[in-house]
Amino acid sequence: MWNEGTIGIPGKDGGYTAAHYWVKHYEEPSEFGINGGRISKLMIKINGVVTANYDRGWDIKPDEDLPTQMAYCILLNEYN
């Protein structure tokens, strides 16, 4: 199943950074999933830039910036 959405990541200045995501996940874990889990495809974009991309393997590992890391953790918790 595909899901798409936006996560608002709180910033230091009181504003939010939008992390737009696309995730393909299954009901059962897979050897192709992230960490052997249910997510087989994942893309995170911050300000129009792809900061993480997984397609049965990492094409772009998650950036170390806070918005990407927070969005990645939220998505792993929700879908993996």
Helices (H), 1-80: 66-79
Q: What is the pLDDT of residue 78?
A: 97
Tens digit of each residue's pLDDT, the chain (80 residues):
999 999 999 988 899 999 999 999 999 999 999 999 999 999 999 999 999 999 999 999 999 999 999 999 999 999 99
How far apart, in Å, are the Cα atoms of 27 and each of 35, 57, 74?
15, 19, 18
Distance CA 28, CA 55 (A): 17
Q: What is the pLDDT of residue 12?
A: 87
Distance CA 64, CA 80 (A): 20
